[in-house]
Chains A and B, each alone.
Chain A
Amino acid sequence: MKTVQLMISEGKKMRKFVKRAPSKKGSRKADEKLGDLVLSTNQQRFLQVLVDGIDVDEPNVLAGRR
């Protein structure tokens, strides 16, 4: 984390002020969320199909009526 020391004026006095760069709270939180992700049984199955199930041919049109 970067820190910058500044001299700021308070009336007639000068005071040392340490300015810290904004922390990466957001990205850390996202990473934690990624690790903690809980999946339903269906979702676990979908992932399994993504990995192992591509031998079953899939037509381009899967659902719907023109």
Chain B
Amino acid sequence: MPRERSYLRYQLYRSEARKAASITTRKMLFHEGADFSKVRFEAIDAQAMSAFELWDNPHFSWGDVVTWKTREPLSLDVAIWFEQELCGLCFVIPNNSRQRIRIVRLEGRPGEAHPLKNRIAALAMLAIDEFAQIIGSRLIEVQEPMQGAIPKYRQLAFTFDLDGRLVLAVEGKVL
């Protein structure tokens, strides 16, 4: 059953990507008032959905993602936590060839400021870039970037390609 095998393999990849992102942020410890040792990267699971229910007027219905996850076994879902506070959610799908990985949804917690305000994009990219490297993707693409978020993506080195897509080339580890 190759489908079953790839499902399990990707489950491992997702877990590795989230874990690597957690280790990376934990290494930063405390900086500029943000204690990164308290940042956690988890799956969008029942706990994340319970915390999401408390969000004030969210843009997306993240309950959809729970269904999408089963339909898209190669996808990556990330819930970004600061201690017990759910601060961001992200859903990513690679294309069939896995050469390109698309950020389908990315949202930080709306309403009052949370401890990771203005840092959700960078944190999500840590996990996404790790996942892209694991599965051998060459490009990360923001599928439908919000206009107001373009300066942030540019800061993270995303550029528009000739087809007008907002992309970032995946690079290997620097030893």
Contacts and interface: CB of A to CB of B under 8 A. Distances in A.
A61 B146 contact: yes
Interface residues of A, number: 29
A41 to B, nearest CB: 5
Interface string A44-66: 11110111011011111111111
B149 A62 contact: yes
A4 interface: no
A39 interface: yes
A50 B129 contact: no
A24 to B, nearest CB: 18
Interface in B130-159: 130, 133, 142-146, 148-149, 151-152, 155-157
B106 A42 contact: no
B28 A65 contact: no
Contacts of B122: 46-47, 49-50, 53
B121 to A, nearest CB: 5
A65 B64 CA distance: 13
B174 A50 contact: no
A60 B36 contact: no
Given A37-B24, A62-B120, A62-B145, A46 B156 contact: yes
B49 interface: no
A9 interface: no
A43 interface: yes
A15 B14 CA distance: 50
Contacts of A41: 171, 174
Interface in B18-46: 20, 23-28, 31-32, 34, 36
Contacts of B173: 38-40
A33 interface: yes
A59 to B, nearest CB: 4
Interface string B35-64: 010000000000000000000000110000
B72 to A, nearest CB: 15
A43 B129 contact: yes
A45 B174 CA distance: 12
B147 to A, nearest CB: 9
Contact of A60 (B26, B107, B151): B107
Given A40-B174, A41-B174, A43-B130, A58 B145 contact: no
